[in-house]
Chain A
Amino acid sequence: MVDPVRRWMEGELTLEAHEGPDELRLVWRGRSADREPGRFLLPLLTQHVDACGRRGVRLCLDFSALEYMNSSTFTPVVKAIDAARRAGVAIVLEYSQAKKWQALSFSALRTFETSDGRVAVLGR
């Protein structure tokens, strides 16, 4: 049986890609504590922004299962938001409101939200 979920791993971090009819969801699991997480994340996120642009679907970065991320990990994330905005790709960041560190960190990322909803940061 073929596993329909694609996975990428770097250190303690795993990203899973789930493809739906309207969105491509990247689920983050584990811990992102690499010295230069952008070396792994930037190409991967750019590749998925491009893929969403070609398919005309939104990109959802789902952090709700993530245990920890260091501050260096925020840079590739905000760069992916910027790349999606420039490419006209809708992007949603989902986080867990039950995890206080996520509620604090990701509420700050709401500064990148756009009024047309193409960039959204949602707690659930």
Chain B
Amino acid sequence: MDPTTLELRLRPQWDAVAPVWRTCRGMLERCGLPSDEADSLAMVAQELLENAVKYGAPGADEIRLSLRVEEEGVIVEVKSRVGEDESHVRAFGGAVQRIRECPDSFGAYVERLKQAARRPYSGGSELGLARIAYEGRCALEFRVDSGYLAVSAVYRR
């Protein structure tokens, strides 16, 4: 078993993904990452998994998580089944694009916090994606491949 890679197949349910933060954090620390980096990258994995559960296709079979530690950085990827309704994928792509285009990840995060304070309590705030870019210092990428939405967060040391 390669200690620098963690691959999990999870039920697309909240109770299945909730404990994964601890699993990821443990693996990252065993790979020699400082605890601060392990904290933030475990958060990145958790946020991507939570997004996949919240917005994934109803009745989907599983969510796949891949966490890979490389010399130059860490790659977190979450794959989830795309439903027949493509509006979610379009909305998600737009959200990723807005985060990617923002040159100031701190400013983007603060703006989402302000929006969260003003809006009625609901999901879809983009706060998790903004947090991945700011707190996790990750670049977000996504692609649709063979009926799966694959979202990657790439951290470069």
Contact = CB atoms under 8 A, between A and B. Distances in A.
Given A78-B116, A108-B110, A111-B110, A101 B39 contact: yes
B127 A79 contact: no
Contact of B114 (A68, A100, A111): A111
Interface residues of A, number: 26
Interface stretch (B42-50, B67-75, B90-98): B42-50
Interface string A30-73: 01010100100010000000000000000000000000101110
Contacts of A31: 21
A5 interface: no
Say what secondary structure dominates the interface of chain A.
helix
B contacts with A: majority SS: helix
A101 B40 contact: yes
A111 B134 CA distance: 15
Contact of B117 (A33, A100, A105, A112): A112
A108 B109 contact: yes
Contacts, number: 75
B110 A70 contact: no
A105 B121 contact: no
A92 interface: no
Interface string A9-33: 0010000000000000000000101
A33 B40 contact: no
A79 B125 CA distance: 14
A96 to B, nearest CB: 12
A99 interface: yes
Interface string B8-25: 000000100010010000
B39 A109 contact: no
